[in-house]
Amino acid sequence: MGAENATAAVDPQLISDLISANHILYDQGVLDAFGHVSVRHDKDPQRFLLARNMAPALVTAADIVEFQLDGTAINGAGRAVYLERFIHGEIYRARADVMAVVHSHSPAVVPFSAVQTSPLRALCHMAGFLGTSTPIYEIRDFAGDGSDLLITDNRLGASLAQVLGQRSVVLMRGHGSTAVADSLVTAVYRAVYTEINARIQTDALRLGPVNFMSEAEGRSTAQTIEGQGKRAWDLWKKTAELRCAELAAAQTAV
Ligand code: MN
């Protein structure tokens, strides 16, 4: 047996939670046919788990693939994998505190990736983790002009991780965003509330000058409210499973 196979098996609960995360993020409008969510392996920090290349709403346990941080699939068995898996591996490599990553194209966030004069920042208390600004990854700075805007190799993944720095969310110009956290529950929470805050911020900006939350309020609210994230997860999981069970049944019937 090669060294790459020596890691203990992943906790089945983690697989189950990763499936729920896929379904929740679809049901909450953060992921559609595209985007993905990963979790770091609970026994080996040099590995992470991510679905094969498919729509998140349809992910089952059989679709979860284990990866090395360089994006190499360990048990891919010839299955197609996500082109942008390097986002996940390079963030896990750069940030030992990060246990889960969500990459999405959720629509209310994308305008803030393209308008530098209007930074995405915490406006509502549920999104204190955004603080007073959100970094924007400009892929032209790293790939030049004419790229497909995707993070398709380790070098681009590492540059994205560098722009993320120690923040919770990084915007990707003309593309989407990536949210990170120390747990799957919190990463899902942040991805959902990044989209909600973006929607609210766009609404508020139409009304007039906005009284945003301060950096200190962001820290305090994040500390208090993110501890309650399981309440949202439990509700979102129930509604997502109802919808995804219907999808799975329809798929079987075809
Ligand atoms: Mn993408």
Determine the pLDDT at residue 2. Answer: 45
The distance of Cα 133 from the centroid of its chain, to the nearest Å, equals: 18
Q: How far apart are alpha carbons 31 and 107 in whole angstroms?
A: 10
CA of 197 to the centre of ligand 1 (A): 20
The values of phi and psi at residue 250, to 5°, are -65, -40
- Residues with Cβ within 8 Å of residue 43, at least 6 apart in sequence: 7, 8, 9, 10, 11
Structure tokens at 207: 């009304």
- What's the pLDDT at 5? 55
Predicted confidence pLDDT, tens digits, the chain (254 residues): 444 556 789 999 999 999 999 999 999 999 999 999 999 999 999 999 999 999 999 999 999 999 999 999 999 999 999 999 999 999 999 999 999 999 999 999 999 999 999 999 999 999 999 999 999 999 999 999 999 999 999 999 999 999 999 999 999 999 999 999 999 999 999 999 999 999 999 999 999 999 999 999 999 999 999 999 999 999 999 999 999 999 889 877 76
- Chain length of the chain: 254
| Strand-pair partners of 48 | 40, 67
Ligand 1 centroid–CA 128 distance in Å is 24
CA distances from 23 to 45, 87, 117, 208, 249 (A): 24, 20, 34, 37, 15
Gap from CA of 150 to ligand 1 centroid (Å): 6
Residue 52, burial from CB neighbour count under 10 angstroms (0-12, 13-18, 19+): middle
Q: What's the confidence (pLDDT) of residue 1?
A: 42
Residue in 190, 191, 179 with CA at minimum distance from that of residue 226: 190
How far does residue 111's CA lie from ligand 1's centre (Å)? 15
Active site residues per annotation: 84
| Distance in angstroms (rounded) separating the CA atoms of residues 96 and 94 | 7
| Residue 226 identity (one-letter amino acid) | E
Distance CA(187)–CA(51), nearest Å, equals 16
Distance 217 CA to ligand 1 centre (A): 31
Residue-level pLDDT at 254: 62
Domains of the chain, each with CATH number or no CATH: 3-253 (3.40.225.10)
